[in-house]
Amino acid sequence: MIAVRNLHKSYPMKPRPLEVLKGVRMEVARGQAVAIVGPSGAGKSTLLHLLAGLDRPTEGEIIVEGRALAALGDRERARFRNHSIGLVFQFYHLLPELTAQENVALPAWMDAHNRRTALERAAGCLQRVGLGDRLQHRPGELSGGEQQRVAIARALINAPPMLLCDEPTGNLDSATGETILELLWQIHAERQTTMVIVTHERELMAKTDKVYELRDGIFV
């Protein structure tokens, strides 16, 4: 499902470029759950953003579902991401002026679904994550755990075969974080969704098929 070959990422700095990734290689089979761990600043979030096509590597290749991301133009890459990749971030990234239902519906609207269909699908996704009674609440009216559930529902609305999660419990207390991890694991089991999760949660690492440890820009 995912193949990463000799991946490098650096940023222009003076007196020399800042090298974040230094020849990363990894493979993730369809339906696998993979954890990426390592200290802060090791390049974990950078790698996840590259896998999602949100950034371009300095060198190397990323193949997702048989397609080389570098070969796609910006619009084609965005469309591919909308269809094939669900993203869950640590800080939710919900639009404060929209309701929970509207936030979840956004990816479907972008995929040319009409408003009514998108909202119906969003309601179903929110029901799935236990927020069927929070459709019309805005992010500011929801707890942190509820906001993360909205973000997960948004990631699921187009039924992507892959979920990329960047510290999905990092902004939550331990009890709420455990609930979110249980939800992600249920989704993985139900849909056989391929998951790549940046995490520090040892309980989650123990459940995954593979753990990659990133240090100083390489896997060790």
pLDDT, tens digit, for every residue of 27-70? 999 999 999 999 888 899 999 999 999 999 999 999 998 889 98
Instruction: List, for residues 181-216, the tens digit of each pLDDT value.
Output: 888 899 899 889 999 999 887 777 888 999 999 998
Level-2 CATH architecture, domain 2-219: 3-Layer(aba) Sandwich (3.40)
What's the rounded Cα separation, in Å, for the pair 2 and 66? Answer: 8
* DSSP three-state, residue 85: strand
Tokens of 90: 């640590």
Domain ranges of the chain: 2-219
Record the pTM: 0.89
- Output the pLDDT for position 182: 87
In the DSSP assignment, the letter for residue 130 is T
What DSSP letter does each residue of 5-40 carry, written as one string? EEEEEEE--SSS-EEEEEEEEEEE-TT-EEEEE--T
For residue 81, report the phi and psi dihedrals to the nearest 5 degrees. Answer: -65, -40
